[in-house]
Structure 1
């Protein structure tokens, strides 16, 4: 009789586990996390709650979540559809900063640079100081004139061997180097973004390599 009761208890416990909220952390930032809750992706900041899930703490390595009565530490996970473990793609999630912009640490020809992600810019663009720091012989590029908010600017069209943000790299990217100090930060424009997969959701820019 005891065995029958024990089996019944274990069976009920298993059903309870199956019915529990399914939680995955798919994006990590300082003070925030992108959490997949029962298949719905949500951007949570520390202290925010969705249903029975509360974000207690988060940094670039892990997040602490309270799910119901349980507190657990989560590392970055990957999302799969219908249980099919497809090959992992190179992905990057960028949280929008308080200034309303998306910033990404990356590199040009293996030299580090910080990009301002600009969907309004047709191409990668930078000023002369950035170009020199990156070792670009930009004055050997094709001379051109660019119309900016400050008027017409002299510029040079160049070809970059490699442009990278996170683990996502695109080879052979055209760029524009403008004379003077404009733009103040290097711009990651649409000629890069159009060669990767990207979408914006709840203040997070998700970028994914196509191959």
Structure 2
């Protein structure tokens, strides 16, 4: 009888484990988290509920506290594991929430120096103005190829260069084509398709998802 009870208890525990939702945090922001519940991904802000009724209690850039079935627990960015308990090779993924102005902003670096980017899928390459290039230590006049660039304001003088390294979060691309424009335009450093096409990107649920290629 004791063995029967123990066996039934073990079976019940296994059934409960199978029934429990698979919850992961795959993106973190101040006041919001991208959560995945049984494969369904959504950006959820603090105080709101996401897939499966999972609530975000608090969130910052390091971790999030989620309430799952009435139980609160702290979650860091998740890694997925296979059935044998070994880590699967994972693509590096970065989820970026759209700002109130409708744009996507990302903190990154050019040649190891920090730079904030405005992500622009309409730009063919990374684009900088000459002041930004100087701050980053880019010798565009010597290393670059002089070109004429068509802009909304007309034609501008520029230089086509190749950046040694461009990174956003954990995503890093070597040898990225860029353009440095004379003057103060563009006012923001643009992260264009010369980077985005090298990593892969998509928009889902108001999130811009960047993903490395294995």
Normalising by structure 1, report the TM-score. Answer: 0.91
**1:126/1:183 contact within 8 Å kept:** yes
Measure the CA separation in 2 of the matches of 1:54 and 1:130: 41
Aligned to 1:16: 16
Structure 2 partner of 1:176:
179
| Paired position in structure 2 for 1:86 | 88
| TM-score of the pair, normalised by structure 2 | 0.90
Match of 2:189 in 1: 186
Task: Identify the range of structure 1 (71-80 vs 109-118) with the bigger mean alpha-carbon deviation.
Answer: 71-80
**How far off is 1:3 after superposition?**
5.4
Q: CA deviation at 1:96?
A: 1.6
Contact kept? 1:26, 1:79, Cα under 8 Å: no
Q: How does 1:67-146 map to 2 (within 5 A)?
A: 67-79=68-80, 85-140=87-142, 141-146=144-149
Give the CA deviation at 1:82: 8.0
Which aligned runs of 4 or more in structure 1 are off by greater than 4 angstroms?
79-85
Does 73-82 or 130-139 show the bigger shift? 73-82
After superposition, the C-alpha distances for 1:96-133 in whole angstroms (9 at most, x for unaligned) are 22221111111111111111110000011010100111
| Shift of residue 7, structure 1, vs aligned partner | 4.1
* 5+ residue gaps, structure 2: none
List per-residue Cα deviations over 1:10-41 (Å, max 9, x = no partner).
43233123211221111111111111111211
What number of residue pairs does the alignment pair up?
211
Q: Residue 206 of structure 1 corresponds to which residue in structure 2?
A: 209
* Counterparts of 1:81 and 1:5, CA distance in 2: 31
- Residues 69/114 of structure 1: CA separation in 2 closer, same or farther (3 Å cut): same
- Secondary structure at the aligned position of 1:195 is classed as helix
Q: Cα deviations across residues 138-168 of structure 1 (Å, max 9, x unaligned)?
A: 1232222211122221111112111111122
| SS in structure 1 at match of 2:198 | coil
Unaligned segments of structure 1, at least 5 residues = none
CA distance in structure 2 between the partners assigned to 1:98 and 1:64 by the alignment: 24
